[in-house]
Structure 1
């Protein structure tokens, strides 16, 4: 029996923060792929608030701890939304060029070791900005910044020959998704939003291919 193990590595959107069912899009996605024909183990390695550089710094050790040499080991990554956050009184957390540099190095590291899929950053939650995720911290998110970074990510993925799923266009055009950003914790989408992301990724040819090999 195939021993398929997938680490989902990234930030709060990987973690599913704000989902009242605590499944996020990764839990819903793997639920739809459950089969007795293989043993699917998935690992949520999302940490809220992390930037691209912070995700990159920890990914290898965390994945290696969950990947036996005898298994079919794979990685899905999603990151970048925190990089574009503008902290009141301090400015943008990470400049775009630095984020892209870290992303390219990160994906190169992963793809050298494991099959990898890259899910793009979600739309910025402008409707609820500025947010106060913790005491003394106020942060805002710009859709223009998210759009610009997404375009740079697509170029980077093409350069590295890593499959990239662009969430921006379908989610920005979906009124229900954009409304989901204003519910729940008013920083992330709620469960209905995560379900929409799961639906999109589930129909992605690159993801589907992992289950037909």
Structure 2
């Protein structure tokens, strides 16, 4: 067991847990799981609402650096993509090829720093056309992570099929669920999370 395990979660509003009245999101629930299984850790939630992969790529190193001092066991969890697929004037905020390139570059930068990385897929929202775009991005992200030997958690399609997730998204702002929805997402990520922490 590490004495000083630190995990930065970098991403968007889903990482931040927007919509959860318990203020845990999936990130807080994963941290609680770790403690429950005897793995203490320090987590830093660096989710920023509305940010795209381009913005996250531009800030992750500066924000993680002071949280990863020499001597700690540093790890990084990454999740983004929904904001990339949001249309502005009829076009995605970030083109799919650029989104893929941003993830590939972030993973390359993290590898150069010797960081273990876990990537979580972008979840669905209450918009079938946007979900189709995000599902395409999910496929690109899966291929990039496989090529980089980085674990990738496929949550997009399971959450689209989740009555709990979709009901809560529709009852909320059309994008973010409440506590039960984030619990569903955390349950999907949990097995890979525990496996990754144990490495």
Per residue, is there more helix in 1 or in 2?
2
Larger-Rg structure? 1
Q: How does 1:168-183 map to 2 (within 5 A)?
A: 168-183=156-171
> In structure 2, how many angstroms separate the alpha carbons of the residues matched to 1:210 and 1:2?
17
CA shift for structure 1 position 37 = 5.2
- What does the per-residue CA deviation read over 1:58-95, in whole Å, with 9 as the maximum and x for residues that have no partner? 101111111111111100000111000012x3532111
Structure 2 alignment gaps of length 5 or more: none
Runs of 4+ in 1 over 4 A off after TM superposition: 35-38
Q: Where does residue 132 of structure 1 map in the other structure?
A: none
Per residue, is there more strand in 1 or in 2?
1
Alignment RMSD:
1.8
CA shift for structure 1 position 108 = 1.2
Whether 2:2 is the aligned partner of 1:14: answer no
Instruction: Provide the TM-score with structure 2 as the length reference.
Output: 0.92
Q: Where does residue 62 of structure 2 map in the other structure?
A: 61
CA shift for structure 1 position 169 = 2.2
- What does the per-residue CA deviation read over 1:85-117, in whole Å, with 9 as the maximum and x for residues that have no partner? 012x35321111111111111111112220000
Please tell me whether the aligned partners of residues 125 and 188 of structure 1 are also in contact (alpha carbons under 8 angstroms). no
Q: Where does residue 27 of structure 1 map in the other structure?
A: 28
Evaluate the alpha carbon distance shift between residue 143 and residue 157 of structure 1 in structure 2; reply closer, same or farther with a 3 A threshold: same
Please tell me whether the aligned partners of residues 19 and 184 of structure 1 are also in contact (alpha carbons under 8 angstroms). no
Instruction: Provide the TM-score with structure 1 as the length reference.
Output: 0.86
Paired positions, count: 197
Structure 1 alignment gaps of length 5 or more: 128-140
> In structure 1, how many angstroms separate the alpha carbons of the residues matched to 2:187 and 2:157?
14
